Chain A
Amino acid sequence: MSTKTIEEKQYLIRFRADTKSHLTVLDHDICNTNCPDKLCTLFCPGEVYKWEGTRMQVGYEGCHECGSCRIGCPYENIKWEYPLGGHGIVFRLA
């Protein structure tokens, strides 16, 4: 079967997650007060960002390391680094 949901898609990928996040939301208040649409929760292709009422939950373990959140956050509120060498997403095919 071809996938139908993001959960099914993410399940196809191998991740070697570090214990520490390489993505940091600098100020959760900015998400809360300035950003009604919570844009990163929409455009992030790994559904890494989830709004939990008062703060942004960052599921860095499922990150594709594409860089969209760093560039797309209208408040430059995301500190974006590469995961520790050898960690993070491991593409096996394309």
Chain B
Amino acid sequence: MSEKFDVIVVGAGPAGTACAYTCAKNGLKVLQIERGEYPGSKNVMGGVLYRKQTEEIIPEFWKEAPLERPIIEQRFWMMDKESTVSFGYKGLEWGVEPYNNFTVLRAHFDQWFAKKGVEEGVLLINETVVTECIVEDGKVIGVRTDRPDGEIFADVVVLADGVNSLLAKQLGFHNELKPDQVALTAMEVINLPKDKINDRFNLQENQGCTIEIFGDSTKGNLGTAFIYTNKESINIGVGTTLSSMIKAKMKPYDLLDYLKTHPMVAPLLAGGESAEYLAHLIPEGGFHAVPKVAGNGVVVIGDAAQLVNAIHREGSNMAMASGKMAAEAVIQAKERNDYSESSLNSYREALYASFIMKDLEKYKDAAHLFENSPQYFKEYVPMLNQAMSKFFTVDGTPKKEKQKQIIKGFTSEKGTFGVMKDLYRAWKAVK
């Protein structure tokens, strides 16, 4: 296989396929290499796919893509051991075109998406690992694979090889990831009949609901849990930074079972049948962890470029958008016949001018603050629960007195100044 391509895309997740699809649609000769048996077979996510960035690649994709449910309600739980404080938003406008986002099962969605690329002319090769980039005179000119005679050449290599991104590391674009830059997440798909899901989550027909759970869902460690409704199953998962997992000496599957049997969660799952168990890392290093994204003959997109907004659980949208931006840069580079770093830097510029890097920059200090200040999840969530319990329990105490007690409860341990400082720091990190 010594044929030369315009572009080789490594990986067939949302980023890789968005890039391959866009390049092929614009007439480029594209090879896409996937290490799994089929696209999606190695890919894991909680399950939210965003309409906007997907539609920008395939208009009205919801008419044919294998989606689960349009999400019409997003709930947030601040959960303690036997209670939860919840808030959220439910809006019927999200249940009709053009929708806001959808739950998906990635093994299904990724296969469909990659097939769309193939229909545009992408040559997709599965079951092939790219072991390294071929570099000549400081320029990436192709890839080496684990197949016999597996060297293939191209003007540009697009690294969409996921969170571990061994290829970008080999090129020196980033150092090894650190345990506080990744979230280790374990999840299960649990089958439940459609009517049970609709009853339990207060949904009609194919309406979907997401719940993000903070606090006791991670036993107070830095992380979150989620429950997402599919057509006839539920995705339930929980993750913390790998560093928190290590520090607390937790087993990810034990934490998952703790969540599944939590009294606030168990009734939602009762009678369900486990269908699959999955574990994955989520890149959560944020703005500061984003590596070099463009070099001579090479660009990095999606999880490989650490493009995840952990605070808003956005990642698939950033993957899609970065893939499209990279494709546009490659198309321009071809017009100029210049694949140097300075030419491909138009991708970097587009990325930094977009919502992706703006959002990551907004939260650039958040992960660090929460990692180093365990009180937010460990102390304030239980305090909030106690406060709500006290305030809404009718026991003859005048409300004013209750408020006093609640404030005292918050400030007795840390002092008024300590609480104010924590609040200020949290606000500053997410403002």
Contacts and interface: CB of A to CB of B under 8 A. Distances in A.
B242 interface: yes
Chain A, interface size category, equals 35 or more
Contacts of B45: 94
Interface of B, secondary structure class, is mixed
Interface of B: 35-37, 40-47, 105-108, 126-129, 145-147, 163-164, 166, 176-179, 182, 184, 186-190, 233, 235, 242, 245-246, 249-253, 257, 260, 269, 272-281
B242 A94 contact: no
Given A9-B274, A66-B280, A72 B246 contact: yes
Contacts of B281: 66-68, 71
Contact of B242 (A2, A9, A16, A43): A43
Contacts of A46: 279
A2 B249 contact: no
B276 A93 contact: yes
Given A66-B279, A90-B37, A94-B45, A9 B252 contact: no
Contacts of A1: 273-274
A79 B32 CA distance: 27
B429 to A, nearest CB: 24
A43 to B, nearest CB: 5
Contacts of A64: 278-280
A30 interface: no
Specify which of A9, A70, A89 lies most central, judged by the most chain B CB atoms within 10 Å of its CB.
A9
Contact of B279 (A3, A45, A85, A88): A45
Interface of A, secondary structure class, is loop
A94 B251 CA distance: 21
Interface string A52-94: 0000000000001111101110001000001111101111111
B178 A71 contact: yes
Nearest to B109: A94
Contacts of B47: 94
B45 to A, nearest CB: 7
B274 A72 contact: no
A18 B126 CA distance: 16
A47 B146 CA distance: 27
Contact of B107 (A82, A86, A91): A91
